[in-house]
Structure 1
Amino acid sequence: MGLKDKAAKRTKESPFVPALLGLFHAARTERNFQFHLFAGTCVVVLGFLFSLSKTEWMIIILVIFGMLSLELVNTAIERTVDLVTLERHPLAKQAKDVAAAAVFVYAFMAVIIACIIFIPKILLLF
């Protein structure tokens, strides 16, 4: 199948198909993505238990989906680097490390936001 054939086939299928395939692949194979899915689910359950306001829900939803999106981008970067070179190269390591650092920084922010939203609600229980 030539490039033109592949391009023609791609234009016929729904643009959602590759996105969903990527999402399901990450959910099945990526340990960190699975962790963030689990953590996000736990936060949503806590949100219902503590009756979050609309504003708090919007913030939580943005943070959860942002985290999952960034984890997907990190996975794509790792796969691309692995595709380009299988040998250990300092630039390949730096690319992977910087992508992982972006996820780490966002996760740190997510924890801070969760603390700001949930700690006062937890303290009201005592």
Structure 2
Amino acid sequence: MPPYVPPPEPLSPDDPLSPLSFNPYKGSRGLMRGWRAVKNSLAGFHVAIREESAFRQELALAAILIPCGLAVPVDPASRVLLLASVLLVLIVELLNSSLEAAIDRISLERHELSRRAKDLGSAAVMVALLMCVMAWAVIVGPLVVRWFRALL
């Protein structure tokens, strides 16, 4: 027979292992949760297109590059890299826009930490754009050079 183990004491509200309090926005489960997630995601795209000029510019670039990435004659791994690099720019821009919105929600006054957070988000977008340019230059660049040499 195992030794007696007393039941655990109830966790205090400030204990990190205690269950979170009820959140009315997290009530759905199953298919309804998935449906609401899709609706929220589409609402996020709508806001980004309506409110964020940088996202609109990058979306226009994606509208050009994605069909080009599908049409260019490269191996499947290179095609995935081309398309993923474009989608990564959109992802990072969405995250940067959400970061900026959250900072603006907290306060519109100028603060060093707010500026730093926004600058870091902007730097992340720049890194994603540079990665996209590098991927396209390395994969598609030699093909373009070959096509121009064939024309001349």
Identity value in percent: 24
Alpha carbons 2:49, 2:55 under 8 Å: kept: yes
- Which residue number in structure 1 is paired with residue 111 of structure 2? 89
Q: Could you say which structure has the higher helix fraction?
A: 1
- Which residue number in structure 2 is paired with residue 26 of structure 1? 48
- How far has the Cα of 1:6 moved from its partner? 4.2
Inter-CA distance 7–46: structure 2 relative to 1 (3 Å threshold): closer
Moved more, 112-121 or 25-34: 25-34
Pick 1 or 2: higher relative contact order, CA cutoff 8 A, min separation 6. Answer: 1
- Alignment partners' CA distance in 1, 2:50 and 2:75: 33
- How far has the Cα of 1:31 moved from its partner? 1.0
List alignment gaps of at least 5 residues for structure 2.
1-21
Secondary structure in structure 2 of the residue aligned to 1:88? coil
- Alignment partners' CA distance in 1, 2:95 and 2:23: 27
Alignment of 1:29-108 (within 5 A): 29-108=51-130
TM-score, reference length from structure 2: 0.72
List alignment gaps of at least 5 residues for structure 1.
none
Inter-CA distance 49–94: structure 2 relative to 1 (3 Å threshold): same
Moved more, 21-30 or 92-101: 21-30
Moved more, 56-65 or 46-55: 46-55
TM-score, reference length from structure 1: 0.86
How many aligned positions are there? 123
Larger radius of gyration: 2
- Alignment partners' CA distance in 2, 1:122 and 1:4: 55
What is the alpha-carbon root mean square deviation over aligned residues? 1.9
Inter-CA distance 123–99: structure 2 relative to 1 (3 Å threshold): same
- Alignment partners' CA distance in 2, 1:48 and 1:68: 18
- Alignment partners' CA distance in 1, 2:94 and 2:126: 13
Deviations 1:31-87 (A, max 9, x none): 111111111222123234432321121101211221111100000000000011111
